[in-house]
Amino acid sequence: MIELIPAIDVIDGKCVRLSQGNYDSKKVYNESPLEVAKAFEAHGMRRLHVVDLDGAASQHVVNYRTLEQIATHTSLTIDFGGGIKTAKDIDIAFNSGAQMVTLGSVAVKNPELFDAWLNTYGNEKIILGSDVKENRIAISGWKEESPLELMPFLDQYIKKGITKVLCTDISRDGMLRGAAFPLYKEIMGTYPELYLIASGGISCLDDILQLDDAGIPAVVFGKAIYEGRISLNDLTRYIIS
């Protein structure tokens, strides 16, 4: 069964969602990300994807206190991303309770540092963030488009030992229009051993089940829960024991 990973995106210490990465589209769903995380845990979730959107748009981690609160008051396995640009940032993330970090911008702008972190922390703790806009990797909170195309980018880091990739189709993120099934099938067809985490566009339970049928190992979802399109009660039967 596909691994279910709910997401909490954080701005100003609040649980929010954007549409297609547009910060002007911000909608606050809860003043307390910890309250949201506890609800996920209460319904049997074991993983959590936390994104520091303030950090993603800046040059350093910002909302680490929120991460610390969730890590301290839940038993969720947390992967954390957004704003991790320096050794200080990655230390803050792990010291604040993240078990894994998702790195995108640094993999594009500072591959030597990414390689060093991969060697230091190992591929169990480092997730390659691959956020895609029209087949090109976008970085810095999706405000900047790189010249790198998705498949060569993945190939480069998989050859270096990356085994976990979080891939978001930016055009679908927060739009509730369904996942990018052809994209994820292409990636899995090329790299069948990859632990691919699909992200973006999940609108209903059927989207998750279709990803599972396609052999996608994991899925990140958020807005569909917050908008009531998916019930946490409906997901409990699909949680990996």
- On whether the CB atoms of residues 146 and 120 are closer than 8 A, the answer is no
Amino acid identity of 48? L
Q: Which of these is catalytic: 89, 131, 173, 207? A: 131
Angle at 59 (CA atoms; ends 64, 184), nearest 5 degrees: 80
Specify whether 131 is catalytic. Answer: yes
Q: Which of these is catalytic: 9, 52, 169, 173? A: 9
d(CA 192, CA 165): 12
Specify whether 169 is catalytic. Answer: no
Token reading at 241: 């024991």
Known catalytic residues are 9, 131
